[in-house]
Structure 1
Amino acid sequence: MLRISHSILHAFDFQSGSSYLSQHELDLEERQVRSYVARRMRNISSSPESKHGEFSEQSAFADAVRQYAVGQLGFVEISQQVGEYLWEELRRCDDLEECDLLMADFTDTREMKVDSKEVQEDPDAAAAAAFDGSSADRYLAAVLLPRKQAFVHDLGSDAGGAPENEILRQDSTLPNPTQKVDSYVLVNLGTMEIDFLDKPRVVGTEERLVIPDGLLQCTAQASSREVVESVERIVEDVAEQYGVNPVEAVAQAKAYVASNADRDESFSPEDVGQAVFEDRPDLQERYQEATREESLPEEVPIRRGVANRMARNHKIKTDTGIEITFPSEYAADSNYIEFTADDQGNVSIIIKNVGKIENK
């Protein structure tokens, strides 16, 4: 759950060549505003697409963030610094995309025990109620919101007073709060760790990542999704090379990732191979060679919710068109599901201890 402390919206209009940097924060007492900002922040903070990084020693933005974290720089001031930098950088790009900049200071509470009905009715109130006693991290976030065209009706009347309606085009529509965006940064104000996402933009003849290379000046580590997908592929390749059932091996790898995320909100790619190929040192060695060849990081942060979506379940599809989804942890437990193969290599799947079957 999130508690939003500050938020502000800066508007860019590349068509007219003007930027509108607000000098006032958004009114978070307005429930619709608070809800939009909270949902947007929740969306980026739980994204498995986020890359991870650390500030370089030369990063001027890192100094500004540190000043802000200790109260030496105000929220509006640091947001305007970000707005001015991004405006100048984006207006130089060849393919201009109309967008606005949303920034927020928020606290992410963890391990809260609240009533589910309360969460549905008012997420922010539920977060506030559960805040005391919860572990929490404070973040500074900046999100580029691409604007889209929309058509609306314009209600009016003619000179004689008769109703006369028109269709107008609006160019200032913000994306839905759950819609994915491709450019944002999230800085943990306690640890200075960075999560970000950006897309290449062309300036002249050169492609550039404005956020990590320009604004942040930070390192870039693969996203949680990219590393998990690499680990699954390596496990599958090694299993197939050595005659091990790749379905069981990949499912066990996913179960290991999900289990570690529940406990530590991170996992080690190297440890995955040791767990999956526990009784096969030769397979462990081949797996480790493959992870080194792909330069996978030693430790990968991954949130519980992200891990649950990516690794909690495993889905398979047979060449006969049958699809099965099962909890990843069941792959290593023959009490629930078992894979066997005959002399011709045909595979049979036995699902066990089923008390009830429902149509879906």
Structure 2
Amino acid sequence: MSDGIIIKRAVLHVLDSEASMPVISKGELEITEELSNYISKHIHKIIDDPNTKKAKFIEDDNPIYIMVESLNEDNFLSMTSNMANILFAFMQKNIDIPPADLLCCIFEEEEKEHLAILKLNYKSAFTHWVNNCEDGNINTIISYKTLLPPESQRVEECALIDLSDYSLRIIEKKYEINGEKEFYFSKYFLKCKSDLSVNEKLKILDKVTKDINKKYFDDDFEKTMEIKKAFCESLEENERIDIEDIAQKVYDRNLEIKNEYMEEISKSGLYEKEIVVPERLVEKKFSMQKIKTDSGIELKFPLEFLNRTDKIEFINNPDGTVSILIKNVGKIVTGR
């Protein structure tokens, strides 16, 4: 057990696409404390990752959904074997998909049982090798190409399935399928429809905001800062980004721009009016502001200082230039 996650059963199948067949395990893994911690830490990373997407199975003609729905105490091993064979067959037809071990496990989180499907893509690393010769041992360095991702790295392709309602949380990467980069893991293997991840939503919001600012305000610095402040105020007040409220505050004097802003966000695939942002992501993306002048000077400061003229002030000069005044500095520390 690790931080509320209980690993109940697990099995590992080897999907090395350079081989002609997968190596299907005939037995389950022994759930040692070390193994339980390894799996639990990866599951925690998936749950907390802003790239994780919520998804739902397409139920019609979906072998993976049928297997998951029929999962019971007796068929865990056979079901995961069938999953491994389906995924391996698809990997062999699409050589861009990396080889991996498929780790499947039943775990409990908040008194609910889940099925985790973790595709542990191989990592390459160097290690020593002792070669026994007549004259004694000769130590050398060799490359291992089938190492599994360590606890510190996130799993790049995976799914957590709630066995009470069969909803999914997935992380995936695009690989070349039939000449085009696609999310094959959800589309062809799991056959599910996914929402946008928090990161994808923020990227859409950031791109549309920059495009509108460039189109109508010529990348005006003050307008950029106004938008940033609106994001931060929305997060402080509501613990989420209220897109419509921000558009109203920033573009309230021009209904045409406001409507175009909202339309472009919808066209980009973001239909929600609010984005719930995890606290740690707020710290990462909205705590600091970085600016760069045309003279090559770079500044990085807490975003909250935008409202603090006792800390930093932006002064518009008569000649059209901008002066930046940094105030009340007690000590200057040089950095690298």
- The amino acid that maps onto 2:185 is I
Cα distance in structure 2, aligned partners of 1:78 and 1:5: 18
**Match for residue 10 of structure 1?**
13
Q: Does 1:273 align with 2:247?
A: yes
Alignment of 1:322-337 (within 5 A): 322-334=297-309, 336-337=311-312
Aligned with 1:163: secondary structure? strand
Q: Does 1:249 align with 2:226?
A: yes
**Match for residue 29 of structure 2?**
26
Task: State the Cα distance separating 1:268 from its structure 2 match.
Answer: 4.6
**Match for residue 85 of structure 2?**
84
Q: 1:16 to 1:226 in 2, by over 3 A?
A: closer
Retained in 2: the 8 A contact 1:312–1:328?
A: yes
Retained in 2: the 8 A contact 1:53–1:193?
A: yes
Q: 1:224 to 1:17 in 2, by over 3 A?
A: same
Question: Which residue of 310, 317, 322 corresponds with 1:342?
Answer: 317
Retained in 2: the 8 A contact 1:235–1:273?
A: no
Retained in 2: the 8 A contact 1:2–1:106?
A: no
Task: State the Cα distance separating 1:90 from its structure 2 match.
Answer: 0.9
Q: 1:3 to 1:194 in 2, by over 3 A?
A: closer
**Match for residue 208 of structure 2?**
234
User: What is the root-mean-square deviation of aligned Cα atoms in Å?
Assistant: 3.6
**Match for residue 48 of structure 2?**
46
Retained in 2: the 8 A contact 1:186–1:194?
A: yes
Task: State the Cα distance separating 1:318 from its structure 2 match.
Answer: 2.0
Alignment of 1:133-212 (within 5 A): 139-159=114-134, 162-189=136-163, 192-203=167-178, 209-212=183-186
Task: State the Cα distance separating 1:236 from its structure 2 match.
Answer: 3.6
**Please, what TM-score do these two structures have when normalized by structure 1?**
0.73
**Match for residue 123 of structure 1?**
none
Task: State the Cα distance separating 1:86 from its structure 2 match.
Answer: 0.9
Q: Does 1:294 align with 2:268?
A: yes
Cα distance in structure 2, aligned partners of 1:351 and 1:107: 52
Task: State the Cα distance separating 1:20 from its structure 2 match.
Answer: 2.0
Q: 1:73 to 1:328 in 2, by over 3 A?
A: farther
**Match for residue 93 of structure 1?**
94
Deviations 1:34-93 (A, max 9, x none): 34323333333333333443322424434444455xx56765454334322211211222
Task: State the Cα distance separating 1:314 from its structure 2 match.
Answer: 2.4
**Match for residue 197 of structure 2?**
223
Unmatched tracts of structure 1, length 5 or more: 109-134
- The amino acid that maps onto 1:100 is D
Single out whichever of 12-21 and 299-308 deviates more from structure 2.
299-308
Alignment of 1:34-73 (within 5 A): 34-58=36-60, 59-68=62-71
Q: Percent identity?
A: 25
Cα distance in structure 2, aligned partners of 1:310 and 1:28: 38
Task: State the Cα distance separating 1:225 from its structure 2 match.
Answer: 2.0
**Please, what TM-score do these two structures have when normalized by structure 2?**
0.77
Cα distance in structure 1, aligned partners of 2:101 and 2:260: 48
Structure that is richer in strand per residue:
2
Task: State the Cα distance separating 1:231 from its structure 2 match.
Answer: 1.4
Aligned residues: 325
**Match for residue 124 of structure 1?**
none
Q: 1:246 to 1:149 in 2, by over 3 A?
A: same
Task: State the Cα distance separating 1:2 from its structure 2 match.
Answer: 5.6
Retained in 1: the 8 A contact 2:53–2:196?
A: yes
Q: 1:187 to 1:339 in 2, by over 3 A?
A: farther
Task: State the Cα distance separating 1:23 from its structure 2 match.
Answer: 4.0
Cα distance in structure 1, aligned partners of 2:242 and 2:75: 38
